[in-house]
Structure 1
């Protein structure tokens, strides 16, 4: 008869050490290779602003930025974050506790209702805004090509919101681009 496998020993043998930066802080953790980035953030690091909802990559509530790219943390393995810079909703907090420009635009346009999708939506919009940040060395002021309303809607397709109908959210993104770059989206 084969002796039973000790779960603790087997699990320890398969764990991997990852080193990454989360919200500007260096993090070193041993994780099971099947641990999702969502589990690392919420269960290991206590960052609960990243929401756990569908765990299938369908809703976008768990969206975070990994090296400035929006990803669904529920589908992204923590071991794949090794060496990366991760930004969560907690990292968006401004000095003195103020709102980030994305958060402020959503509030000012009435685009936040129940709030469950908000953290993921903020992160997805942050990636969109950063992607369209003008490079002032190459583009004269006011000449930056900004996303159209249709492009904004397309970019937000992976984030579900059952309360707003998306109109106010897209309005907020357009207003954000207008305020930041003085050029309508």
Structure 2
């Protein structure tokens, strides 16, 4: 099938098999931030944005993004780097394998929710699994990052 979509702002036109998973497709295009985790849509490692909304690319077919805008961590590097410094300062960055999907969701939450409560933060990020941290450092980093951006 022929698809046309924007990947990190670049127009892509390609022929894909109907069963090609978006995770595999974007990785084949050099977006290595998109990680394979559970392959059951439960861990959040494969999160990308489709039309600025987070989706799990392991559960999305490439043909489903036809005429849409797909953003990976490579497309939001400056914002990701900025938030990443907050993660590091809070000791929430350990192995880093889950970080790309987690960061994509944090940035989407920042765009979507105004002044989220701790409960709203936890609910928004409930699908992001991390085997290294206890989540407390991540939560502290998010709160400090959002507070700093609110002041700006």
Q: Would you say 1:59 and 2:39 are equivalent positions?
A: no
**Number of the residue aligned with 2:107:** 126
Of 56, 60, 76, which residue of structure 2 is paired with 1:72? Answer: 56
State the Cα RMSD in Å: 1.7
- TM-fit CA distance, 1:61: 0.5
Report the Cα distance in structure 2 between the residues aligned to 1:31 and 1:107, rounded to whole angstroms: 39
TM-aligned CA deviation for residue 108 of structure 1: 2.5
8 A Cα contact 2:51 2:68, kept in partner: yes
| Length, aligned pairs only | 152
* 2:3 maps to which of 2, 13, 18: 18
1:115-164 deviations in Å (ceiling 9; x for gaps): 010000000101100112xxxxxxxxxxxx51111111111111100111
1:85 aligns with 2:69: yes
TM-score by length of 2: 0.93
The higher relative CO (CA closer than 8 Å, separation ≥ 6) is in: 2
Shift of 1:170: 1.1
Q: State how far apart, in whole Å, the 1-side matches of 2:42 and 2:4 are.
A: 28
Aligned to 1:117: 98
Give the C-alpha shift of residue 110 in structure 1: 2.0
Structure having the larger proportion of residues in helix: 2
Match of 2:17 in 1: 32
Which one has a bigger Cα radius of gyration? 1
**In structure 2, how many angstroms separate the alpha carbons of the residues matched to 1:99 and 1:127?**
11
Deviates more, 1:102-111 or 1:55-64: 102-111
Indicate the residue corresponding to 1:146 in structure 2: 115
Query: What is the match of residue 151 of structure 2?
Result: 182
Deviation beyond 3 Å, 4+ runs, structure 1: none
Structure 2 unaligned blocks of 5 or more: none
Distance 2:74 2:147 in 1: 25
